[in-house]
C-alpha cells in the first residue's frame, strides 16, 4: 500500500497551519487501483485512501499517522469538492 502512495501523485493534499504558518495537521488522499497477486489474480488494494498526520500529537515533537480507507462510495471529484467548498 505504501508503495502505491509513493508511485502516484496525490489526488488531494490538505494542510492545516497555525498562526505562525507551522504545519500541524495534514491529509494526503490518493487512489490506489488494482494491485494483484499473480497466482491468485485477486485484487488486494482498490480504492481511495487517506494518510492523516497529526504533528506534535500526543505530545510535542511526536507525530501520529493514521491510514484510512475511504470506502467504495468515494471518488476524487467528491473529495476535492468537499475541501474546496
Helix locations, the chain, DSSP H: 2-7, 76-84
pLDDT for 42-77, tens place per residue? 556 677 888 899 998 899 889 999 988 887 767 777
Residue 82 pLDDT more than 80?
Answer: no
Q: What are phi and psi of 20, to 5 degrees?
A: -100, 15
Report how many domains make up the chain: 1
Whether the model clears a pTM of 0.75, i.e. scores above it, the answer is: no
Q: For residue 85, is it within any domain?
A: no
Q: For residue 63, is it within any domain?
A: yes
Q: For residue 37, is it within any domain?
A: yes
Q: For residue 56, is it within any domain?
A: yes
Do 52 and 30 touch, CB atoms closer than 8 A? Answer: no
Range of the domain at 32: 2-80
pLDDT for 8-43, tens place per residue? 677 788 899 999 998 999 988 887 765 544 555 555
Amino acid at each position: 500500500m505504501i508503495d502505491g502512495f509513493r508511485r502516484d501523485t496525490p489526488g488531494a493534499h490538505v494542510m492545516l497551519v497555525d498562526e505562525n504558518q507551522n504545519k500541524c495537521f495534514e491529509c494526503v488522499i490518493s487512489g490506489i487501483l488494482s494491485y494483484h497477486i499473480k497466482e491468485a489474480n485477486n485484487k488486494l488494494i482498490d480504492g481511495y485512501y487517506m494518510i492523516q498526520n497529526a504533528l506534535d500529537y500526543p505530545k510535542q515533537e511526536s507525530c501520529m499517522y493514521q491510514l484510512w480507507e475511504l470506502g467504495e462510495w468515494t471518488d476524487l471529484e467528491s473529495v476535492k469538492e468537499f475541501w474546496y467548498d
